[in-house]
Amino acid sequence: MARTLVLVRHGQSDWNLKNLFTGWRDPDLTPKGVEEARSAGQRLRELNLVFDRAFTSNLSRAQRTLALLTETLGQTDIATERSEALNERDYGDLSGLNKDDARAKWGEEQVHIWRRSYDVPPPGGESLKDTGARVWPYYIHTIQPAVLNGGNVIVAAHGNSLRALVMALEGLTPAQILEAEIATGVPIVYTLNADSTVASKDVLIG
C-alpha cells in the first residue's frame, strides 16, 4: 500500500475523562487510553502495513499513543519526528478548566462559540483556523513529501490538529470541518494519488 497516510488521535487522556479543557497541557493517558492505543495498533497490524515514517506532537499523550501503537505493530524502530506544529489547539485561559465550570463563568453560548467556531479563539488561545495555520505548512513541507515518495506514514496527534489536517486533505469548508468528529484511538487510513489528492479513506472502527 504505497502512499499511505494514517492519522490517529491519541487515546483517552486523564483530562478527557475529567471533562477538562486540555490544549497544550500535558496529562497522561488513562488505562482506557492505553487500551485504545494498543487496539489501534492491532487494527493496523491486520492491514500488514509497514511504516517508513512517524510524526507526532510535543505532547506526551500523543507520543505515548504512538509508542504503544508501534509496539503492538512490532515496529518500534520507525523514524519519528516530533513537532509543536502538531500540538493540540491551545485553549489559552480555558486550559485546565472543567467545561461545565467554564460554561458557568462565561455562559453556554460563549463557550460553544469558542469550542465550535472556526475562527474565534478563546482568551489567550487559538481558533481552529489558527491551529491550521501551523499544521498546514508542516504537512505540506514535511509530512506530505514522505507520503508522495511512496512511503507509509503515520501521524499521532490531537483532535483539532488532526481536524485541520482532514480539512486540507478532503477539501472541507470551515462549516463542514466543524461537524467532523475524530474519535480517540481510531485510525483513519488514507491512500493518496500522485498529485496529493485522496484516493481512498478508511476509518478503522473496532
Integer angstrom CA distances of residue 38 from 70, 74, 135: 8, 11, 26
Integer angstrom CA distances of residue 151 from 2, 14, 55: 6, 33, 13
Q: Which residues are catalytic?
A: 10, 88
CB 58 within 8 A of CB 82: yes
| Widest CA span in the chain | 50
Residues in the chain: 206
Beta strands in the chain (DSSP E): 4-9, 53-56, 79-82, 152-157, 188-192, 198-203
